[in-house]
Amino acid sequence: MQQVNLGIIGGGTVGSGVYHHLQVNGALLESRLGIKIGLRRIAVKALDEPRPYAIPESLMTTDWTTVVNDPEVHVVIELVGGTTIAKTIILTALKLGKPVITANKALISAYGEELFAAAQKHGTNLYYEASVAGGIPIIKVLREGFVGNRITHLYGIVNGTCNYILTRMKLEGSDFEPTLRDAQHLGYAEADPSLDIDGFDSEHKIGILGSLAHGIWIRPGDIHVEGIRPVGKTDIEFAGKLGYTIKLLGVVKSVEKAVKSKKAERKSIQVSVYPALIPNTHVLASVNHVFNAVFVRGDVVGDTLFYGRGAGKDATASAVLSDIADAALDLKHQTRRRIPPFVSHASDTEVLPIDDAVCRYYVRLSVIDKPGTLARIATILAASKIGISSVIQPEGHEGESVPLILMIHDAPNSAMKKALAKISKLPVVKAPPVLLRVETFD
């Protein structure tokens, strides 16, 4: 039986997870593949750093170069994260013609094209199933399972921290700040939560998925990003009354025609991350706690959903093991670039500026309850040709500040933003408006 040897860089959460599951399921993997899988060495930051699964000291080194350069290491697995040393490690391995496996979403999202070009130049491959949505094999599904499909819509709940916080806010009727603090206390959110909470982690993942779906490489800067900080318990409560659940969604939508496009011959896609109201009857509304899910609509397959744990030592290891299998098969059969890391196939597609994107909205205003308030607001919206589909105004006392909820028909983002700026300046409006999008999956 052929033997393929692995070298792992990174012995933390994911690295020790991969080590552990190779011990437990290595024989099963080998019998399924007909290939012997050897583990040569694991480079770690420090031999005694805390890790969820123990690694024998004899397997560890603190010098990653000895692992990458070891001629007996056939596949390099980069699990250190970040965009500096990780990039060097990957480029070094690719230059040696070694296939590389990575779980590094930030790196692939930002430097994907450069890394893919290096892999091509050196006749090898880069595998990154573990970079998006942990254990959900969404990269394989998009590139192989749906290879015959044009992906018209893709919506992802791809950040477990945000989904955990929003789920608890809904179930407990709690507000954002205390729930975040509790999530931090329980280890579901980082001490510096910005990467998750402000949508940047979702941005990396949704950029990769959008790129694979549409055949143009979408860079982080091309993506409009809003996080979940503006979502209050009042919003979750009112959304619930209207039959909706609020989720942080990554959105990749083919747009039939841009609102004011000067290049009508080009296809547009909207690529964004924002908190959105989704109907309770939609499967995505049932995706709770730390779970992730990606909803994909293909022109052939129709509507599909892929659900699972998006992070963690075990789920991410499952994706790494799948890439190990593909890399080992590709080495055995000498087909290193059977499926290249990225195939560009849609140079006529461009990312739509968020200003031109059209959707429905939920607006929460804090207004003084007095005659004429609603009329003033409705007049501003009407002047911008923005239609109101429904209004909720809880009963209050004249002169008091009360919430006013408006559900808005399809309107361009730019028009909505301008109208809202005018509305904010009305003396009866007492706080900055909360603007959330409504996705109906039509």
List of residues contacting a second copy (CB under 8 A): 21, 24-25, 28-29, 31-34, 129, 135-137, 140-141, 143-150, 215, 283, 286-287, 291, 293, 298-309, 314-315, 317-322, 324-326, 329, 333, 335, 338-339, 343, 345
* Nearest alpha-carbon partner for 239 in 285, 283, 193, 195: 285
Residue number, 90 or 133, with CB nearest to a second copy: 133
Active site includes 253? Answer: no
Catalytic residue (choose from 170, 205, 247, 253): 205
Least separation, in Å, of the C-beta of 134 and a second copy?
8
**Element (H or E) spanning 295, and its range?**
strand 291-298
Residue number, 54 or 300, with CB nearest to a second copy: 300
Task: Tell me how far apart the alpha carbons of residues 230 and 431 are, in angstroms, rounded to a whole number.
Answer: 12
Strands (E), 142-192: 151-157
Least separation, in Å, of the C-beta of 311 and a second copy?
11
* Nearest alpha-carbon partner for 397 in 432, 431, 374, 370: 370
- Phi, psi (degrees; rounded to nearest 5) at 280: -60, -25
Least separation, in Å, of the C-beta of 34 and a second copy?
8
Task: Tell me how far apart the alpha carbons of residues 351 and 199 are, in angstroms, rounded to a whole number.
Answer: 18
Length of the chain: 442
Integer angstrom CA distances of residue 116 from 9, 52, 121, 122, 301: 19, 32, 9, 10, 29
**Structure-token pair, residue 133:** 């949505």
Least separation, in Å, of the C-beta of 241 and a second copy?
20
Task: Tell me how far apart the alpha carbons of residues 3 and 34 are, in angstroms, rounded to a whole number.
Answer: 9
Residue number, 304 or 366, with CB nearest to a second copy: 304
Q: Do residues 121 and 343 lie in contact, with contact meaning Cβ atoms separated by under 8 Å?
A: no
Residue number, 259 or 339, with CB nearest to a second copy: 339
Residue number, 92 or 292, with CB nearest to a second copy: 292
DSSP-assigned beta bridge partners for residue 36:
3
Least separation, in Å, of the C-beta of 122 and a second copy?
19
Catalytic residues: 205
